[in-house]
Amino acid sequence: MAVRAVRGAIQVDANERADILAGAAELVTEVMTRNDLSTDDVISVIFTATADLNAEFPALAARQLGFQEIPLLCGTEIDVPGAMPRVVRLMMHVETDKARARLQHVYLRGAAALRLDIAQ
């Protein structure tokens, strides 16, 4: 098995606890589904949120999805002027037999514009 990293992002509607948790849960679920992963495959997950999202930790959504024994970390994305607002990002480290080129990075809602080079 190789250790690989999968990236993803989602733009949420508002700086509200429910919106952050729903968006982060949707992102984690979609990364897991598209890459045929189980929690046993996940080593760790790093979440970042833009500075305008501070109503909840995105990692809580992963905990609520069953990521109980997986190390999770939240941070603030660099506050670049003019950058897309209200974005939760993740980098998930996994063990997998898939080649790096076969992994599916996931960009949802408005965040799809961040990576137009990746088919959604």
What strands lie across the sheet with 42-49, from one edge to the other?
72-76, 42-49, 87-96, 2-11, 106-108
**Catalytic residue from among 30, 34, 109, 115:** 115
Closest CA relative to residue 67, chosen from 33, 28, 96: 28
In the annotation, is 89 catalytic? yes
Which residue in 4, 7, 86, 95 is the catalytic one?
Answer: 7
* Count of helix runs (H) and strand runs (E) in the chain: 2, 5
Annotated catalytic residue: which of 17, 63, 100, 102? 63
Known active-site residue 4: no
Catalytic option among 30, 34, 74, 109: 74
Q: Is the dihedral of CA 55, 88, 14, 51 positive or negative?
A: positive
Residue 109 falls in the annotated catalytic set: no
Q: DSSP letter for 120, please.
A: -
Catalytic residue, from 26, 56, 86, 89: name it.
89
| Active-site annotation holds for 77 | yes
Q: Which of 4, 26, 56, 107 is catalytic?
A: 107
To the query of whether residue 56 is one of the catalytic residues in this protein, the response is no
115 is catalytic: yes
Options 4, 26, 56, 77, the catalytic residue: 77
107 is a catalytic site residue = yes
DSSP secondary structure string for all residues of 52-63: T--SS-THHHHH
> Catalytic site residues?
7, 63, 74, 77, 89, 107, 115
